[in-house]
Structure 1
Amino acid sequence: MAEGTRHPPINQKLARFFKVGLHYGHKKKEWNPKMVPFLFHSFPEVNREYHFINLYETQKYLNKACRYLRTASLKRKVILFVGTKKRLASAIQQEAMRCGAFYVNYRWLGGMLTNWKTIQKRIRRLRVLETLQAYGILNYYPKKESAKLKRELEKLNNYLAGIKNMPYLPDVVVLIDQEHELTAIKECKTLKIPIISIIDSNSNPDLVDLGIPGNDDSVKAIRYVLHRLARAIAGHQQSQNDKLLTQAALN
């Protein structure tokens, strides 16, 4: 954006973006020059050390992502949410489950997509252990073996709980924190699976198919974006319950 560019007045959604901190970028020395089109350049006197995200671009691409996911949902496409940072785990799980998407929120296993047949075997193993646990059969094993199987169950559940019902490879992946999820990105690229991702001032927009400019370090900002995307997938207007959830994301 050229210096001195005038923008329309800030609307209600942009005010929310400010409130959750979507405009905060990284230190200027950490930036990726490819992010130039998505950053503010008009007000360098505000903060000379950090970049600020252009929230008009955030609004534009968030709306575009919502429309894309809404269409994918109507076509019954398989949608996968990915965010494995510990502080994001609950938000990823909550929003994915709320809109009927699948999720990976613990750790990305190498080959989770590119070696799907092997992952399916591990999912079958998880189901067997869950059945043994549900019927109390694990308690009849020798103490040492029972403890070992329970640890295996816990481990598999951490890794695979969010995809154990996924029927096949996802049609689109919604990914949080590009820098932290490079392995997942590489697998999606190999399989030509479209990626929607928040892109911060240090991100590479070329690595994703649809980037949403914004702060990918703030849990509050990420929760807000996830909520908007999940609501688009769910395909309904914002009910009173949705309003309460949105308000919770802002507080």
Structure 2
Amino acid sequence: MAQVEYKDLLDAGVHFGHLTRKWDPRMAPYIFMEKNGIHIIDLNKTLASIDEAAAAMKGIVRSGRKVMFVATKKQAQEIVTEEARRLKMPFVTDRWLGGMLTNFATIRKSLKKMQGIEKMMKDEATYKSLAKRERLTVYREKEKLERVLGGIADLTRLPAALFIVDVKREHIAVAEAKRLGIPVFAMCDTNSNPSDVDYPIPANDDAYKSIRLITLAIGKAIEEGLLERKQDKDDQRLQEEEEAKRAEDVKTAKAEGETAVDAEEEISPVVAEEAEEQED
């Protein structure tokens, strides 16, 4: 499990919330105190939330399903993109297209279109046969599609869960996931509504260090889930090989037993004949 300590949270500034006048009262259970007009998040609650979210996330990944990372705010884009790519998980860091989950069939058409353009551009003869203006149009369209959909290019079905950095900013993604019954793991600052998500992690969602720490903790849990899934598959493969070997041994033993019986049946008449000759 991802080991995050109290000091790590403190050093990363995870405890700094928003101005008291911007708070959401539903975050009250996660707020420790108010200082200089700013709410301070209870880091003990944050630690407990990270552990709970990491355990649930590991279980989802271990079952072989995908987790989509969503973070379109500037300070979160780089770290989320890096971690999602490292784990080979889908991600959205440019902007959330309305219907990305609820209208996934249309999104898949756009993905196929992007793949078609890439294939055409690789075929130099076809691409160079286009007029200069057409090539420029195709190139710009490819860039636009890659920027928006590049992170989900390999996604063939809906993700099993979402990890979101700022639920207030990504409210459309949260609403779509809620509508489809997809669990949401999210960093919730003091201006957020934690009841909108399944696994809220009370934390500063504006500071780069805070975002990095929480994202890496969730990434570590996903990595552990992937390793456990690989181990499960290896164990299953070994078990199947052992069962196949046992079945082969039984088959061989049975065949050898039948051969021995046949040989005995062949020898018996000869022995009987010799016995009769001795008697005579």
Q: TM-score, normalised by structure 2?
A: 0.77
Contact 1:199 1:213 in 2 (8 A): yes
Contact 2:75 2:206 in 1 (8 A): no
Partner of 2:79: 91
Partner of 1:248: none
- State whether structure 2 residue 203 is matched by structure 1 residue 203: no
Query: Runs of 5+ in structure 1 lacking a partner?
Result: 1-10, 237-251
- State whether structure 2 residue 68 is matched by structure 1 residue 76: no
User: Structure 1 residue 211: deviation in Å?
Assistant: 0.2
Partner of 2:183: 194
Q: Render the CA deviation track for 1:57-81: whole Å, top value 9, x for unaligned.
A: 1100011111111111111112100
Partner of 2:94: 106
Partner of 2:156: 167
Aligned pairs for 1:83-162 within 5 A: 83-136=71-124, 137-162=126-151
What fraction of aligned residue pairs are identical, expressed as a percent? Answer: 33
User: Structure 1 residue 127: deviation in Å?
Assistant: 0.3
Distance 2:40 2:70 in 1: 25
Partner of 2:27: 35
Specify the SS of the correspondent of 2:32: coil
Output the amino acid matched with 1:36.
A
- Between stretches 79-88 and 171-180, larger displacement belongs to 79-88
Distance 2:110 2:74 in 1: 23
More helix by share: 2
Output the amino acid matched with 2:207.
S
Specify the SS of the correspondent of 1:206: helix
Of residues 202, 207, 216, the one that matches 1:218 is: 207
Distance 1:170 1:79 in 2: 6
Output the amino acid matched with 1:23.
H
Contact 2:71 2:165 in 1 (8 A): yes
Contact 2:4 2:217 in 1 (8 A): no
Q: Render the CA deviation track for 1:73-132: whole Å, top value 9, x for unaligned.
A: 111112100011233222111111112211011110111111111000000000011112
**Quick one: structure 1 residues 132 and 86, their matched pair in 2 at CA, closer, same or farther if it must change by over 3 Å?**
farther
**Quick one: structure 1 residues 35 and 124, their matched pair in 2 at CA, closer, same or farther if it must change by over 3 Å?**
same
Distance 2:130 2:203 in 1: 51
Q: TM-score, normalised by structure 1?
A: 0.85
Query: Runs of 5+ in structure 2 lacking a partner?
Result: 226-280
User: Structure 1 residue 56: deviation in Å?
Assistant: 0.4
Distance 1:81 1:162 in 2: 9
Structure ID, larger Rg: 2
Partner of 1:240: none
* Number of equivalences: 223
Distance 2:142 2:160 in 1: 28
Contact 1:80 1:103 in 2 (8 A): yes
Output the amino acid matched with 1:60.
A
> What is the Cα-based RMSD across aligned positions, in Å?
1.6
Partner of 1:16: 8
User: Structure 1 residue 12: deviation in Å?
Assistant: 7.2
